[in-house]
Amino acid sequence: MAPLKRVALLFAMEQEAAPTIARLGLMPKGLLEPPLPALAFEGTRGSLTVDVVVNGKDARFAVANVGTVPAALTTHAACVALKPDLLISAGTAGGFKARGGAIGDVYVSTESVNHDRRISIPGFDRYGDYLTPTHDASALAAALGFKAGVVSSGNSLECASVDLEHLIRLGASAKEMEAGGVAYAAGLHGVPLICLKAVTDIVDGDKPTADEFVQNLHTAAKAIEDAAVAVLDYLDGKELTTPL
């Protein structure tokens, strides 16, 4: 098996991605696949070609395209245009104090799952969850000192009580809004995926999610910047083995 050559990091929000783009000195390539508003940036780190792709802004509401649908479309376009050897769903997430999560913690995924696609019909129930093992990155997590756990996706920032019940049932360590869509599209293309998420808020805490997210976004973006660089340096020259 040949060493990794190209790694693509997928972000929802420019605020999440900007520190990483600046740190790596990536150059803008413009729209990834018009009319999709996703923006691509490219550069190198060691022997790796590195792409950062951001979902871009919604034309109607002028805010970042967050959620599983933009994430899936962007991932599909990235796989077609860039042909990466490995995808990394990067960005921010909520953590759980019950699982030892704290602001700024970085998690590497063991699995991706959806917590808000509840379809109580046999067969469709598992389709709704869409539990997907991500590439085994246990060696990477151990080497870099990151936490590991299930990354669960939903299309709401706040966590309703019914969502929290499902997050607990699914054993989630990180709650976010994109990885489920990324995992679906990555699976269609057969591209290995890991998720790299920094905690902005505590899902089972006592502070309003939106307030905590805004307050800690800069901290989490910095944590992802440092984590992304460490991961790329770890991957440089490595083959896509299991565990990675």
Average pLDDT of the segment spanning 144-153: 98
- Band (100; pLDDT cuts 50, 70, 90): very high
**201 included as an active-site residue:** yes
Helix axes 179-189, 68-82, angle to 10 degrees: 30
| Residues linked to residue 90 through DSSP beta bridges, in sequence order | 196
Catalytic residue of the set 111, 176, 201, 212: 201
| CB neighbours of residue 226 within 10 Å | 17
Element (H, E) at 126: helix 124-129
Structural fold of domain 6-235: Rossmann fold (3.40.50)
Give the pair of three-digit tokens for residue 183: 């995992």
pLDDT at position 242 is: 84
- Out of 16, 129, 163, 212, which one is annotated catalytic? 16
pLDDT at position 116 over 80: yes
Confidence of residue 128 (pLDDT cuts 50, 70, 90): very high
Per-residue pLDDT, averaged over 93-112, amounts to 97
For residues 194-217, give the mean pLDDT. Answer: 97
> What's the rounded Cα separation, in Å, for the pair 150 and 107?
9
Domains of the chain, by residue range, sit at 6-235
Please state, for a pLDDT cut of 70, what percent of the chain lies above it. Answer: 100
Residue 1 scores a pLDDT above 90: no
CB atoms < 10 A from the CB of 177, how many?
A: 24
In the chain, the percentage of residues whose pLDDT exceeds 90 is 98
